[in-house]
Amino acid sequence: MGPDKKILFISLTDAPNGAENVLLTMAKEVGKEIWFLKRNQSSNLRIPDHIQAHYLSEISIARGFMQMVPRLWSLTSADLIISTHPYLNALLGLLKRIGYLKTKLIARECTSVFTRFTGLKKKVYQVLYRLGYPAIDLLVCQTEMMKQQLLNHNHFIPASKVLVQPNPIDFVKIKAGAEKPLINGDAKLDFICSAGRLIPEKGFPVLIEAFKNIKTEYPNLKLLLLGEGKERASLTQLIETNGLIDDVILKGQVNNPAPYFKHAKVCVVSSLKEGFPNVLLEMMAVNASVVSTLCAGGIEDIPGISKIEVNNVEALSNAMREALQKNKLNEENVVLDYLAQRKPEIFAHAILNALNNLN
């Protein structure tokens, strides 16, 4: 792409979730403009000054999509759109397939929808992928497992159009953010930390049960869960039922979780299924004691962390107990070498180079 070519990033919202953060990370490296179909009503991504952010709706994603379509008409075949989220990818692909959208289109897969969902929701995705994905120029998957799952469920997608590129991590940003102080008395606590949306896929009930198993050995230890979501009420009930009201704390959405990751006795990813948990990389960047379930492809190859099977309370209890008994789990140099492979500039330019090679 020449310097005069427009590279446009499009996201459903500016919520500070994994998919949105990855798109913004790439935009910082090679883009100047990002569109959000809807402005998130609570916490938001922090957009740097050199990025032009356009919010197409304050009301709904559907309205934002209707506002987006006319704006796409002026783009040319020399331009490039990079998007994430299956719905958005499919709809942009459909516009390209019917000849309305003339740009090149790179779409990033943020999760393995065909293994994550069942029933009617899975059927809807099957239809959307069939309608829109044939026109996408390059599909980016986070892991080899995700690529194989995508191809196995969508035989019309040629393997040559799919690039496996691991998620990036802005190591400098995470390290700087970790130096911020903890507030509201949290700095005085001994705690285990986990983070993510409060949804079933994150496996927080398993983590709460595992924490209960080790609580008698560490009476002063707390479990802090950073994030917000639809499972708050059920998790609160589980905490009360297990007599952990004073010990398991739902912190809600935390804009900068890095200080919590840094000061935690152990950081934990308890997910049941993920595309790839970016939060795991953030934890590794600032803490030497990290435990993760094997919830996504590629985790088994990560050095210096404790890895356990998903949905296993006893295994998670034992892993946290072992981590608490050690000064550290990982070797810093090994972890730094691993994270260095995920620099944002490597991620961004690998994708652009792959697109150029297709032409």
Answer yes or no: is 1 within a domain.
no
Same domain, 130 and 181: no
Same domain, 164 and 176: no
Same domain, 205 and 324: yes
pLDDT at residue 31, as a whole number: 85
Does 324 score more than 60 pLDDT?
yes
Answer yes or no: is 125 within a domain.
yes
Question: Rounded to whole angstroms, how far apart are CA atoms 28 and 14?
Answer: 15
Range of the domain at 144: 7-168+343-358
Question: Rounded to whole angstroms, how far apart are CA atoms 149 and 162?
Answer: 12
Answer yes or no: is 62 within a domain.
yes
Q: What value does the mean pLDDT take over residues 315-337?
A: 82
Same domain, 125 and 48: yes
| % of the chain with per-residue pLDDT over 90 | 76
Same domain, 175 and 164: no
Same domain, 284 and 242: yes
Same domain, 40 and 53: yes
pLDDT at residue 112, as a whole number: 87
Per residue in 144-203, pLDDT (tens digit) is 999 999 999 999 999 999 999 998 988 888 999 999 999 888 999 999 999 999 999 999
Does 2 score more than 60 pLDDT?
no
Answer yes or no: is 2 within a domain.
no
pLDDT at residue 331, as a whole number: 60
Question: Rounded to whole angstroms, how far apart are CA atoms 219 and 240?
Answer: 17
Angle between helices 86-97 and 119-132 (to 10 degrees): 30
pLDDT at residue 275, as a whole number: 85
pLDDT at residue 12, as a whole number: 96
pLDDT at residue 268, as a whole number: 98
| Total domains in the fold of the chain | 2
**What's the DSSP call for residue 135?**
G
Question: Rounded to whole angstroms, how far apart are CA atoms 159 and 352?
Answer: 17
pLDDT at residue 173, as a whole number: 86
Q: What value does the mean pLDDT take over residues 225-248?
A: 96
Compute and round to an integer the Cα radius of gyration of the chain.
Answer: 21
What's the mean pLDDT when you consider all of the chain? Answer: 93
Same domain, 231 and 300: yes
Answer yes or no: is 320 within a domain.
yes
Same domain, 42 and 155: yes
CATH number, domain with residue 36: 3.40.50.2000
Task: Report residue 332's pLDDT band, with 50, 70 and 90 as the boundaries.
Answer: low
Per residue in 113-151, pLDDT (tens digit) is 998 889 999 999 999 999 999 999 999 999 999 999 999
Distance, first Cα to last Cα, the chain:
11
Same domain, 75 and 91: yes
pLDDT at residue 184, as a whole number: 85
Total length of the chain:
359
Q: What value does the mean pLDDT take over residues 330-353?
A: 84
Same domain, 206 and 246: yes
Question: Rounded to whole angstroms, how far apart are CA atoms 275 and 139?
Answer: 14
Read off the pTM: 0.83
| % of the chain with per-residue pLDDT over 70 | 97
Answer yes or no: is 198 within a domain.
yes
Same domain, 162 and 224: no
Answer yes or no: is 87 within a domain.
yes
Per residue in 39-71, pLDDT (tens digit) is 998 878 889 999 999 999 999 999 999 999 999
